[in-house]
Amino acid sequence: MNTHTKMKIRHTLKALLLASVMAGSGTVLADTDKVEAHAQAKHMKPMQTMGRMLLSKRAIKHLALTESQQAELKSIFDAQKEQVKSLRGDRDKGEHHTAFKALIEAEQFDKAQAQVLLEQFQPQKRDMMLIRLETQHKVYHILTEEQRDKLKELRHKRMGKKHHQHQSS
């Protein structure tokens, strides 16, 4: 199989995977996709990133989070971590990677097999998204209106800086 064909197969598989993820997703906070992309770039889980960001010294200071709010947020993120851990269960983390890799490296692309694989992993992705949305809802309602506005402002500043950095590159 030539390099061009392999690249076409990879692009098709990526598009299928992206489409399946997007079909099962939605966001509560405007920034969620950017947080997830940042988390993937840093090899962190998106939900951990949100927790680390909100419980960082800088965020605590800027948002003026009370001790009670910090404790509630920590409790929410700890519970979320446990939910995700139980959802993943004993399943081999590399199981889907191996299956997708085999599909990519096959002599002929099997679209039906790709769809089966994507459908197989869709329920878990949907459940993860549900956990994430529920956590975001809880966090949103712990913060005061003023804190929500400050958080939104901080995110816009951060995204503006990142956007500027990408244009400069």
Q: Which amino acid is at 63?
A: L
Q: Which residue range(s) make up the domain with 155?
A: 3-168
Q: Which amino acid is at 101?
A: K
Q: Which two tokens stand for residue 145?
A: 């209106």
How far lies 123's CA from each of 23, 92, 117, 154, in Å? 12, 16, 11, 33
Please provide the size of the chain in residues. 169
Residues 6+ apart with CB under 8 A from 68: none
Domains of the chain: total = 1
Top-confidence residue, 8 or 115: 115
**Average pLDDT value for the chain:** 75
**pLDDT digit string (tens) for 86-129?**
887 655 556 777 888 888 999 999 999 989 888 887 888 889 89
Specify whether the CB–CB gap between 26 and 133 falls below 8 A. yes
CATH value at residue 80: 1.20.120.1490
pLDDT score for 48: 56
Q: Is this structure's pTM higher than 0.85?
A: no
